[in-house]
């Protein structure tokens, strides 16, 4: 096997005028035009509007390379491109090798007859995706509607391209194109190994592995196949036919560690490789595919029960409480889909105690780097097929294209331990009820839907990945159940958007008791640093043209301000408004998650919308575009803590709740206090010893708000006090999972066997928040500069910033008791190194308090 990597420096030609400029491959053509200065930064101000012409034109990627005689000596040379966006022709030395029309399928074309000795010229003609969509629309027998966002490209649902590239309610419309992931020429004398599969099954104290390989041979012949998994080898001489064939070997392995989701155990991975070579050639000379696999039994338990239909991920016999967020592409410009950024996003999720990400159906099937890293780190993946918020045609051509895509992706992801299930689409079932056309003629669109969803996607999963759960849609009450799962909470997975999209109060979260929530969310405005990145200085205002252009939800700002008026006293000034919007976003999602976790085992999952942003914007994201955590992401580390101590205020009663995801029983000392808001003085105290079963949730204390009393029986108005609760682990019995110090540490770090919480009991705006007279000092430590924050009175949602230094503190949005102290570690941004002196100059503190001049 011989390989010429073709990644690197290419040329991008504009077909309309023949102009040329350099282009990096892998990469996208808009990024090349930005780099050459021909396009302004589409993320700044409203520049996005000025770059729409690019998606309406054809572009040609050109590259020259030398072919060594040895390559021409090979029986066959294949051009292999992992991801080409989208409608493209491939021309080698003027010979058209073939075309593609789907960014979600690998392109493999025979280049043998076009290859010449010495200098060769490869061209990839990327056709306008917008034109392709319009051409497809013109051929439709009837309209196939799609959801349209403020800036968007038409008929996005007719082209197999990441749907959100055409604009979304959090993202820009950048109809770019290009070659993403790898592109190479493969010289082969024997068959090409197209795919491999290791279907593992527990077998007593070991595992059987059904190892399969899909070959594509230029001609019939004798082939030597080598299979190896976890060090166990097996070989096979096969007479393969020309074209495609599949070969399977069953191997048995023992003494392998099981793979667990993060927090439940280790993520042991083992080598799996299959190679194919002409039988008369030496071992190692053929084509080989190598990967790492884990051994685990993972399924989804979706069973009828007294409530409705349960939904829980079960791994190696243990039910997993899945907690996390929805993942959208790592950037709006594919050139920035770097493995480092993808790993940094997964690390951020892990840092927030997440164990599950949903790869959402309006984006892309993620890169190998993503799934490999999730395997390594134990991050479970709910995987959508790439259909979202639209109806889709069921013409023969479209279904054939989707079938090839689904089979390619089902095989590609089948051996990733992290992938928990396949889901047909995002909201495409519900969408049948959204559009005039489909409301007027549902039967036609239901048939289209089912032909594609069950007829193609479901079938591909059932055939190629039968051990993995196929879930028809998100939300969905389950197979063959087409009820509205935006409002029904008893069955399957739910999208709960009544708080936000329907403008309901946060207390509405406490009215639903879902089984599995795949989407719910609340927007925040971006940080000042992010706002400065996209708005001119004169437009640093939420309703300035630049700012409104970076708010893609038509009622977004109004919903944010209305919620502020509902719960808080109105902020004064731009920065305070940004901060308060982030406090309320964190408060909203915390309210939902703490309640739903307290409903375990009825509710077994919560994934909020959304983990990340594709550009700088006001959105539902917990992370800023530069990956700096918003207060939501900080709070997530607390409300997703495997051992959660929470206060749920519902129907006029404050309940102290403990939730334990660990398997073992634990003993705690509980302390609950009512404290005076003005100075933190303790007015009433309760303490007790308790045994907490593993994998359970329990109410530890109830306090009716209309009957709060101090030690001496004095009635207490709920707006004048706050509830402080803490648990301390009495002694530890060693639970075998997690750490001897009692916690399910993610990274082996010791977890303090103590939890504490401070909560206001009514809408914050009703409370006279004291001036906590926060103070701080910077201290040096072995791991770098630290900030010691001290409070003289109760302080809520404390945040320390150090703009413009690159980096952030390791926590924010925390509460401090009177006399309380908190040490914050500084985390430098990529390539930055802040000194204590620089921090001294830059630090700024803030906490939830009503309209007062910003501290200097
Ligand atoms: C759901 C998601 C996304 C959308 C989000 C916020 O519909 O599936 O399509 O961005 O809500 O509106």
Which residue's CA is the closest to the ligand 1 atom numbered 12?
Answer: 169
In ligand 1, the atom with minimum distance to the C-alpha of 360 is 8
Q: Which residues line ligand 1 (CB under 6 A)?
A: 168-170, 362, 388-389, 426-427, 519, 609, 620
DSSP E strands: which ranges in 262-366? 270-278, 287-293, 298-301, 312-315, 318-320, 322-327, 356-359
Distance 55 CA to ligand 1 centre (A): 24
> How far apart (Å, rounded) are the C-alpha atoms in residues 385 and 424?
5
In ligand 1, the atom with minimum distance to the C-alpha of 170 is 10
799, 757, 806, 438: which is closest to 632 by C-alpha?
A: 799
Distance 236 CA to ligand 1 centre (A): 50
List Cβ neighbours of 794 (8 Å cut-off, separation of 6 or more): 675, 677, 679, 680, 722, 758, 770, 772, 815, 816, 817, 818
Distance 307 CA to ligand 1 centre (A): 27
List Cβ neighbours of 414 (8 Å cut-off, separation of 6 or more): 197, 199, 464, 465, 468
Give 10-residue mean pLDDT values along the chain (856 residues). 96 98 98 98 98 98 96 96 98 98 98 97 98 98 97 97 98 98 96 97 95 97 97 96 97 96 98 96 92 97 92 96 98 98 98 98 98 98 98 98 98 98 97 96 96 98 97 94 87 96 98 97 97 97 98 97 97 96 98 98 97 98 97 98 98 98 96 97 97 97 98 97 95 44 45 86 96 95 93 97 92 97 94 92 94 59
- Residue 118: left if φ>0, alpha if ψ -120 to 50, beta else—which one? left
Condensed to tens digits (0 to 9), the pLDDT of residues 236-290 reads 999 999 999 999 999 999 999 999 999 999 999 999 999 999 999 998 889 999 9
- φ/ψ of residue 713, rounded to 5: 90, 0
Task: Answer yes or no: are the C-beta atoms of 626 and 532 closer than 8 Å.
Answer: no
Distance 231 CA to ligand 1 centre (A): 45
Question: What does the pLDDT read at residue 741?
Answer: 43
Distance 777 CA to ligand 1 centre (A): 42
Distance 330 CA to ligand 1 centre (A): 16
In ligand 1, the atom with minimum distance to the C-alpha of 426 is 8
> How far apart (Å, rounded) are the C-alpha atoms in residues 44 and 21?
23
In ligand 1, the atom with minimum distance to the C-alpha of 495 is 1
Distance 523 CA to ligand 1 centre (A): 11
Identify the helix (H) or strand (E) that includes residue 549.
helix 545-549
Which residue's CA is the closest to the ligand 1 atom numbered 1?
Answer: 519
> How far apart (Å, rounded) are the C-alpha atoms in residues 281 and 279?
6
Distance 129 CA to ligand 1 centre (A): 23
Which residue's CA is the closest to the ligand 1 atom numbered 9?
Answer: 389
Identify the helix (H) or strand (E) that includes residue 591.
helix 574-598
Question: What does the pLDDT read at residue 737?
Answer: 39
Token output for 510: 């406490």
Distance 466 CA to ligand 1 centre (A): 29
In ligand 1, the atom with minimum distance to the C-alpha of 389 is 9
In ligand 1, the atom with minimum distance to the C-alpha of 361 is 8
Cβ count near 662 (within 10 Å): 21
> How far apart (Å, rounded) are the C-alpha atoms in residues 548 and 542?
7
Could you write out the DSSP letters of every residue in 341-371?
A: HHHHHHHHHHHTT--EEEE-TTS----HHHH
Cβ count near 220 (within 10 Å): 12
Question: What does the pLDDT read at residue 753?
Answer: 82
Distance 542 CA to ligand 1 centre (A): 22
Burial 777-787 (b: 16+ CB within 10 A, else e): ebeeeeebbbb
Question: What does the pLDDT read at residue 854?
Answer: 54
Q: Could you tell which of 384, 389, 499, 522 is best to mutate to test the pocket of ligand 1, judged by most ligand atoms within 8 Å of the CB?
A: 389
817, 822, 825, 811: which is closest to 796 by C-alpha?
A: 817
Distance 539 CA to ligand 1 centre (A): 27
In ligand 1, the atom with minimum distance to the C-alpha of 147 is 9
Question: What does the pLDDT read at residue 231?
Answer: 96
Which residue's CA is the closest to the ligand 1 atom numbered 10?
Answer: 169
In ligand 1, the atom with minimum distance to the C-alpha of 427 is 8
């Amino acid at each position: 096997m011989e390989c010429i990597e073709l990644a690197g420096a290419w040329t991008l030609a504009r077909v309309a005028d023949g102009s040329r400029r350099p282009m990096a491959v892998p990469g996208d053509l808009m990024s090349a035009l930005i780099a050459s200065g021909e396009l302004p930064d589409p993320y700044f101000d409203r520049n996005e509007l000025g770059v729409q012409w690019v998606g309406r034109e054809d572009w040609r990627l050109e590259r020259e390379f030398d072919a060594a005689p040895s390559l021409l000596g090979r029986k066959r040379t294949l051009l292999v491109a992992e991801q080409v966006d989208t409608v493209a022709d491939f021309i080698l030395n003027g010979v058209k090798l073939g075309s593609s029309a789907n960014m979600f399928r690998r392109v493999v074309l025979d280049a043998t007859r076009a290859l010449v000795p010495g200098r060769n010229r490869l061209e990839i003609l990327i056709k306008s995706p917008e034109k392709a969509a319009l051409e497809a629309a013109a051929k439709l027998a009837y309209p196939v509607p799609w959801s349209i966002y403020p800036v968007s490209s038409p008929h996005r649902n007719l082209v197999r391209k990441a749907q959100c590239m055409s604009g979304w309610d959090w993202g820009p419309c950048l109809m770019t194109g290009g070659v993403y992931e790898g592109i190479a020429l493969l010289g082969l004398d024997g068959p090409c190994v197209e795919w491999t599969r290791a279907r593992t099954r527990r077998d007593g104290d070991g595992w059987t592995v059904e190892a399969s390989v899909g070959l594509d041979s230029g001609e019939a012949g004798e082939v030597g196949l080598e299979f190896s998994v976890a060090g166990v080898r097996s070989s096979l001489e096969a007479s393969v036919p020309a074209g495609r064939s599949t070969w399977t070997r069953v191997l048995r392995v023992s003494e392998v560690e099981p793979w667990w989701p993060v927090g439940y155990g280790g993520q042991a991975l083992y080598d799996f490789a299959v190679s194919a070579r002409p039988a008369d050639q030496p071992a190692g000379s053929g084509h080989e595919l190598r990967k790492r696999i884990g051994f685990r039994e993972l399924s989804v338990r979706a069973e009828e029960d007294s409530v409705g239909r349960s939904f829980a991920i079960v791994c190696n016999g243990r039910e997993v409480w899945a907690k996390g967020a929805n993942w959208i592409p790592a950037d709006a410009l594919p050139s920035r889909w770097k493995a480092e950024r993808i790993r940094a996003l997964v690390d951020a999720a892990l840092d927030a105690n997440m164990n599950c990400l949903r790869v959402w159906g309006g984006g892309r099937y993620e890169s190998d780097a993503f799934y490999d890293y999730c395997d390594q780190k134990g991050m479970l993946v709910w995987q959508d097929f790439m259909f979202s918020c639209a109806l889709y045609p069921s013409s023969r051509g479209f279904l054939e294209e989707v079938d090839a895509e689904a089979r390619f992706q089902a095989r590609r992801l089948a051996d990733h331990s992290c992938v928990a299930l396949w889901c047909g689409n995002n909201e495409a079932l519900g969408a049948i009820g959204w559009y005039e056309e489909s409301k007027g003629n549902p039967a036609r669109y239901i048939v289209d839907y089912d032909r594609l969803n069950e007829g193609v996607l479901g079938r591909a999963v059932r055939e190629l990945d039968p051990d993995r759960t196929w879930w028809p849609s998100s939300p969905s009450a389950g197979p063959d159940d087409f009820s509205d799962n935006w409002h029904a909470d008893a069955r399957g997975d739910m999208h709960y958007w009544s708080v936000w999209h329907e403008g309901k109060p946060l207390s509405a979260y406490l009215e639903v008791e879902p089984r599995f929530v795949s989407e719910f969310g609340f927007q925040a405005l971006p940080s000042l640093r992010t706002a400065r990145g996209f708005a001119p200085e004169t437009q640093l205002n939420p309703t300035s043209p630049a700012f409104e252009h970076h708010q893609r939800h038509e009622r977004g700002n109004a919903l944010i301000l209305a919620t502020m008026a509902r719960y808080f006293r109105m902020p004064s000034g731009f920065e305070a408004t940004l901060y308060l919007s982030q406090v309320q976003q964190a408060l909203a999602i915390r309210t939902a998650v703490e309640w739903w976790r307290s409903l375990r085992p009825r509710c077994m999952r919560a994934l909020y919308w959304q983990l990340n942003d594709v550009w700088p914007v006001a959105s539902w994201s917990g992370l800023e575009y530069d990956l700096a955590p918003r207060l939501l992401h900080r709070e997530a580390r607390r409300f997703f803590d495997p051992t959660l101590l929470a206060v749920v205020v519902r129907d006029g009663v404050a309940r102290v709740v403990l939730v334990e995801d660990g398997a073992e029983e634990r003993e705690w000392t509980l302390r609950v206090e009512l404290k005076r808001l003005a100075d933190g003085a303790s007015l009433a105290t309760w303490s007790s010893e308790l045994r907490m079963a593993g994998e359970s949730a329990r109410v530890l204390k109830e306090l009716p708000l209309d009957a709060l009393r101090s030690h001496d029986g004095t009635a207490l108005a709920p707006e004048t006090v706050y509830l402080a609760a803490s648990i301390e682990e009495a002694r530890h019995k060693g639970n075998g999972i997690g750490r001897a110090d009692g916690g399910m540490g993610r990274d082996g770090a010791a977890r303090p066997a103590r939890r504490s919480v401070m909560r206001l009991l009514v809408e914050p705006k009703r409370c006279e928040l004291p001036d906590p007279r926060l103070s701080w000092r910077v201290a040096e430590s072995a791991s770098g500069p630290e900030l010691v924050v001290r409070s003289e009175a109760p302080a809520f949602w404390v945040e320390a910033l150090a703009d413009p230094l690159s980096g952030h503190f390791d926590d924010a949005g925390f509460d401090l008791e009177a006399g309380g102290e908190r040490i914050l570690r500084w985390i430098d941004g990529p390539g930055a190194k802040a000194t204590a002196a620089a921090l001294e100059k830059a630090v700024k503190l803030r906490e939830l308090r009503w309209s007062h001049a910003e501290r200097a």
